[in-house]
Amino acid sequence: MNCDFSIGETDKRIYGSFVEHIGRCVYGGIYDPTCPEADNLGFRKDVISMTKELGVPIVRYPGGNFVSGYNWEDGIGPKEKRPKRSELAWFATETNEIGTDEFAEWCRRADTQAMMAVNLGTRGPDAARNLVEYCNRHSGSYWSDLRGKNGYKNPHDIKLWCLGNEMDGPWQIGHKKAEEYGRVALEAGKLMKWVDPSIELVACGSSSMKMQTFGQWEATVLEEAYDVCDYISLHIYFDNIEDNLPNFLAKSVEMDSFIETVVSTCDYIKGKNRKNKTINLSFDEWNIWYHAAAANEAYMRKRTWDIAPAFNEDIYNFEDALLFGSMILSLLRHADRVKIACLAQLVNVIAPIMTINGGGSYKQSIYYPFLHASKYGRGKVLRTLTQCGKYDSKDYTDVPILDTIAVENEENSELTIFAVNKDLEEDVFTRFSLQGYEGYEVFEHIVMQNNDGKAVNSIERPNVILPISMPLSDNGRLETVLPKLSWNVLRFRRKSTN
């Protein structure tokens, strides 16, 4: 590794997350007035505390599939006057007890910023520009003055906006063809930026690289809406339904390929149309998702229209945390173009944080790689040349046993190497060559490892999966052992001369 071989600076927004009106993410998740941990507005202080610990800089809201049928006006004003709606994305009843103002207030309490999505499914440019006016204009107009009457005199000042969600998916409310979506995104984006020229906009990319529309969708949308868009979105979820661990851990290779393909498409349209602006990437949905699949399908078939049903609540095991860690490394490896990323989601629904209605919470296995990356993975990302063994799996070839990336924090004069050892059988003895970092030594080696790959945390046993600090080699030498099937954080700093 050489200090001059830099990929780029991390944008802190790659450590974002996602709160959608689905299951118990909002009601019972960030908001539960029955909980002893609730504050004066009913927000769970334990969830706020963990959100702060994770250092989440942005949170996407209110969806997701939910947003494509959402009337944002339902969620403002006196709560007793807000309508209950049949919510068609997840076949639940939406009470609208939490809406735009409440979420903006939750963001302030959680030290984060909202990344707001507008409905381009059942609605369009008019509702979108009105929402921007409601959130961002100081006063002197109908919507800004209404916000003041609703108790929020100062603007919410939301700077990052999503132009709909997964509009190429047939499951999406108001599903559109690429040309149709591109046109409405252009017109909505145009009006939104006329209201507030300082905002940034994310256009919908294809909802999955497995979609037949993938690739051509991005190209067509950018042909239409390039001038108003600043980013295009990517979404990916991995599963281990086949219970094939080597193949599962190799899936980060697919994530790398996904990113690079979308970058190529953006740059092709830029060159073809002789544009000066570069479109960067917003990976605003990513995670592992499969544990609750059967229960989810059964619930969706019943259509009981419950309020905040326990839904999509994957319980993550140790194996999941390893691929999850590699997915974070994939984001860092592309820090030059991936400027935004949102772990989907924050609480209860495919999430690192789990709560019990009425009180009690715990951290899932995936919480810890996210925490470490957010805490130590901010700064200059360096290319790592890793010499290690490789393996072939069912769907992938030449998969490196070690997945690594390095990040330099110049302000703290620290260097961090993140590493996932994917070897099922062997610990790996590792030496580090830090060119340009003479005099640096290891001062901390954090390891997360478990001999039971199916182990999980729970409310009764919250620390089954927990990172530990490993003993260091003599004199802080640049070598260590990475245990088999492990997530590793190695922190370096200049050796003291005292």
Burial zone of 110 (CB within 10 Å; 0-12 exposed, 13-18 middle, 19+ buried): buried
The DSSP annotation for 322-385 comes to HHHHHHHHHHHHTTTTEEEEEEE-SBSSS-SEEE-TTS-EEE-TTHHHHHHHHHH--SEEE---
Catalytic-labelled residue, pool 94, 133, 166, 187: 166
- Helices assigned H by DSSP within 37-173: 45-54, 100-109, 125-136, 142-149
Number of H helices, E strands in the chain: 11, 23
Give the span between the Cα atoms of 113 and 39, in whole angstroms.
Answer: 19
Parallel/antiparallel/unpaired status of strands 85-87 and 92-94:
antiparallel
Start-to-end CA distance of the chain, whole Å, equals 27
Q: Which amino acid is at 298?
A: A
Give the span between the Cα atoms of 114 and 106, in whole angstroms.
Answer: 9
Concerning whether 285 is annotated as a catalytic residue, the answer is: yes
Distances (CA, A) of 428 to 389, 390, 446, 487: 10, 13, 15, 12
Closest residue by Cα to residue 225 from 284, 183, 164, 168 = 183
SS3 235: strand
SS3 161: strand
Catalytic-labelled residue, pool 285, 319, 408, 414: 285
Name the token pair of 184.
Answer: 């409405």
Q: How big is the chain, counted in residues? A: 498
CA angle in degrees (0–180, nearest 5) for 408-410-416: 25
Concerning whether 410 is annotated as a catalytic residue, the answer is: no
| Residue 24 falls in which region: left (phi positive, over 0), alpha (psi -120 to 50) or beta | alpha
Q: Which amino acid is at 271?
A: G
Distances (CA, A) of 262 to 25, 137, 219, 277, 412: 30, 34, 9, 16, 34
Q: Which residues contact 62 (CB under 8 A, 6 or more apart)?
A: 19, 20, 21, 70, 72, 75, 103, 117
| Residues catalogued as catalytic | 166, 285
